[in-house]
Amino acid sequence: MLKFEHKLRGNVALGINPLGCKQQVWNEINYVKEKGTYEGPKKVLVIGASSSYGLSTRISLAFGAGADTIGVSFEKGPKSARNLGTAGWYNNIAFREAAEEEGLIAKNFVQDAFSKETKQDVIDYIKNEFGGKVDLVVYSLASGVRKDPETGEIYHSSIKAIGEPVVGPTINMEKQLFYTETLEPATDQEIADTVKVMGGEDWQLWMEALKEADVLADGVLTTNYSYLGTELNHPYYGGGTLGRAKADCDVKAENINELLSDINGKATMVVATAVTTKASAVIPFFPVYCIALFKVMEEKGTHETPIMHQDRIYREMIYGGKPEYDEAGRLRPDNWEIDPDTQAKTKELVHQLNAENFNSERTAFDTILKEFSVLSGFMVENYVEQDITLEELKELTY
C-alpha cells in the first residue's frame, strides 16, 4: 500500500495524497451544491482547469449552472511510489467522474495550452462532440514557462521588481522561517519574457483560433483572472514583472473585444482576490501579506477560498446580475480585499509581524498552511484514510 507524505521544498509542495485531492474536489462540489443552482452558460471551455481558480470555476459552472465543460491543463500522472504525479492530475479525474455521474460532459485535455496542436484538438472536439459552440471561455493559466508556438523558442517568467530592488520580510513554509529577502530588479529582457509567458498573448491566440473556427456562440463571454493588489504589495506585484504581465492582459482584452464585436462577444478581466495557491505561494513577500490579510478578513467574515470566490463571481456577479466594474471595465470581486478598513488593519498588522509572532494566533499562518496542504490532498476535511496501490492509481484515467 502507498504511503502519502506531505513534503515541502521552500514554498513548493512535493508529496501528494491523490485520495485527499479527490475528497477536496468533492468538498468543493458539495459547497456549490449546497448553494443550489443558478442560470449560467451551458458549454464552457476552461484553460488552466486542474487546480485552484480554474478548477473552482469549472466546479461552480458544472454543479451550479449545469454546464458541460472542457478543461485544458498540464499535469503529470503516477510513475512510481515515490513519484505519484501532480495533484491536478487527480483533480481532473475526480472532477470528470463526478460530473459524469450528473450526466454532464467533462472532457479533459492534458497537454500544452500554448501549442497550436492543443488549440486545434480542442476545436475539433467542440465541433465534433461538444455541440459545435462554446458560450464561455475561461482563461486561468499560471505558468513559469512558455514555448512560442511560431518559433519554438522557450520563454521563462521571473517574479521580480522593476527599477529598484525590494527588501522586505518573507516566509519559508517548509522551515517555518520569517526572514528578510531582497528582490532584485528585472532586466528589460526578463520583463519582456514574463509578459510573453504570463501576459495576454496566448489568451488572444486562443480566442482568434476559436473565432476563426466558428466555435464561439453568439454573445460568447471570455474571462481572464488578474490581480491588482494594493499599496502593500505594489512594489513586488503591481509594480513588478507580474504587474506588467497583467497590464498586458488588459490590452489583449481590448483586442479580443474588437475581435468578438460582430458576434456580440465580450472579454472581461476579472480582478480576483488573493488566495493560497501553488502559484501565489512562490511570490516573494506575498505570504506575509496574506497571513495578515486573511486574519483581518477572517475576523470580518470575508475570507474566501478559491471555490467561495469563484462561485461568488459567476453565481452572483456575472450571471447573477450584481457585477461591480471599475472605470477600466474590469470586474472587481476583489472588493472585499481592497476595502479601505480591511487594508488599514492589514497594514497595521503587517508592520507588527516579526520572526517570533508570524506563526502565532495573531495571524492566519495556520489558515495558509492548511489551505496550502489541501492543494496537495492533505488536511482535507471529511477525508477518511484509505488504501490504494500504485497499480490502481495508474489505472485511473482522466
Q: Which residues contact 247 (CB under 8 A, 6 or more apart)?
A: none
Give residues 219-278 in contact with ligand NAI (rule: CB under 6 A). 225-227, 272, 274-275, 277-278
Q: In whole angstroms, how close is the CB of 199 to ligand NAI at the nearest point?
A: 10
C-beta closer to ligand NAI: residue 122 or 217: 122
Distance CA 227, CA 242 (A): 9
**Per-residue x/- mask for ligand NAI, residues 169 to 208, rule CB under 6 A?**
----------------------------------------
Distance CA 12, CA 88 (A): 14
Q: In whole angstroms, how close is the CB of 245 to ligand NAI at the nearest point?
A: 8
Candidates 61, 70, 137, 142; binder of ligand NAI (CB under 6 A) is 142
**Per-residue x/- mask for ligand NAI, residues 1 to 40, rule CB under 6 A?**
----------------------------------------
Candidates 23, 24, 51, 69; binder of ligand NAI (CB under 6 A) is 51
C-beta closer to ligand NAI: residue 26 or 225: 225
Return the C-alpha torsion angle 118, 49, 123, 312, nearest 10: -150
Work out whether 63 is an interface residue with ligand NAI (CB under 6 A): no
Locate 59 and state its grid cell.
466546479
C-alpha torsion sign, points 196, 198, 203, 206: positive
Q: Which H or E run contains 24?
A: helix 18-35
Q: In whole angstroms, how close is the CB of 113 to ligand NAI at the nearest point?
A: 3
Distance CA 303, CA 261 (A): 37
Catalytic: which of 139, 237, 289, 314? 237
Q: Catalytic site residue 237? A: yes
Work out whether 49 is an interface residue with ligand NAI (CB under 6 A): yes
C-beta closer to ligand NAI: residue 17 or 277: 277
C-beta closer to ligand NAI: residue 42 or 246: 246
Q: What is the DSSP letter of 306?
A: H
- Residue pair 354/288 in contact (Cβ under 8 Å)? The answer is no
C-alpha torsion sign, points 300, 358, 20, 50: positive
Work out whether 54 is an interface residue with ligand NAI (CB under 6 A): yes
Q: What is the DSSP letter of 261?
A: G
Candidates 75, 135, 248, 337; binder of ligand NAI (CB under 6 A) is 75
Locate 357 and state its grid cell.
509572532
Neighbouring C-beta atoms of residue 157, cutoff 10 Å: 23
> How many residues of this chain interact with ligand NAI, rule: CB under 6 A?
29
Locate 307 and state its grid cell.
471555490
C-beta closer to ligand NAI: residue 89 or 217: 89
Candidates 25, 72, 87, 353; binder of ligand NAI (CB under 6 A) is 72
Work out whether 141 is an interface residue with ligand NAI (CB under 6 A): yes
Q: In whole angstroms, how close is the CB of 46 to ligand NAI at the nearest point?
A: 8
Q: In whole angstroms, how close is the CB of 91 to ligand NAI at the nearest point?
A: 8
C-beta closer to ligand NAI: residue 158 or 217: 158
CA distances 306 to 91, 231, 270, 274, 341, Å, are 14, 23, 14, 9, 22
Q: In whole angstroms, how close is the CB of 190 to ligand NAI at the nearest point?
A: 17
Q: Which H or E run contains 36?
A: none
Q: In whole angstroms, how close is the CB of 143 to ligand NAI at the nearest point?
A: 4
User: Helix (H, G, I), strand (E, B), or coil: what is residue 147?
Assistant: strand
Backbone angles phi, psi at 231, to 5 degrees: -60, -25
CA distances 253 to 281, 318, 397, Å, are 27, 17, 35
C-alpha torsion sign, points 386, 389, 395, 398: positive
C-beta closer to ligand NAI: residue 242 or 396: 242
Nearest C-alpha neighbor of 378 from the set 93, 1, 8: 8
Give residues 111-130 in contact with ligand NAI (rule: CB under 6 A). 112-114
Q: In whole angstroms, how close is the CB of 112 to ligand NAI at the nearest point?
A: 5
Binding site for ligand NAI (CB under 6 A): 48-54, 72-75, 88, 112-114, 140-143, 225-227, 272, 274-275, 277-280
Active site residues: 237
